[in-house]
Amino acid sequence: MRIVCDKCARELPSLKGARCSRCQGSLDNPSADLCRACGTSSWGFDLARSPGPYDSGWGELVRALKFGRERAITRFLSARMASYLNIEQPFPTIDLITYVPMSRRALRLRGFNQARLLALGVGHLANIPVCRLLSKNRDTTAQTILSARKRKANLRGAFTVVKSGKERVLLIDDIYTTGSTVEECSRTLRTGGYKAIHVLTVARA
């Protein structure tokens, strides 16, 4: 069964305009390499990339997956993410794929972790092992209702490493907004010994 028609799939946009070389955030100054956040802060991850902008069909698909519980959409999205990896080759060599975890309560309420489903799909298509490296040890307030500053505080200490290692890791999530979630996960992974951590999300807000 086709999840997205050919016309809609072709019209999904890529990120346009001047972009930060590290996180793909929009740049006010096209001659700059880094956005203000990346230029003034030390981040836990090395690079973050997304196939397209959240304010588009990409965002509609993510919302249908998360809130409409249309799990079949992960087949389309993970295929596009794997294609992006293959064509754009945005990262150096990746040894393992992992994903942003959910708390037990949140997982029970939604019924699935969309980041895990996306990771499994990408790993299968890209022939890269997928491994659960993190757990979320407490519930947190929904990030969407918080300011950027409060998002960081909300997630501080929320994740723990369940498996240590030294592999080069690709961390997968659905959306990159302020980067607070993948940043906290990346910093936690570094405490487990992982040296290279890159981030791939469906969409960039």
- Residue range 146-171, pLDDT digits in tens: 667 777 777 888 999 999 999 999 99
Q: Which domains does the chain have, with CATH numbers?
A: 6-204 (3.40.50.2020)
Predicted TM-score (pTM) of the model is 0.94
Half-sphere exposure of 196 (CA within 13 A, CB side): 11
**Spatial distance between the Cα atoms of 124 and 157, rounded to a whole number of angstroms:** 31
CA dist., res. 185 & res. 171, Å (int):
8
**Using CA atoms, how far apart are residues 103 and 126, in angstroms rounded to an integer?**
27
Amino acid code (one letter) for 21:
S
The residues, any chain, with a CB within 8 Å of residue 3's CB and separated by 6 or more, are: 72, 73, 75, 76
The predicted-structure confidence for 65-108, as pLDDT tens digits, reads as follows 999 999 999 999 999 999 999 999 999 999 999 999 999 999 99
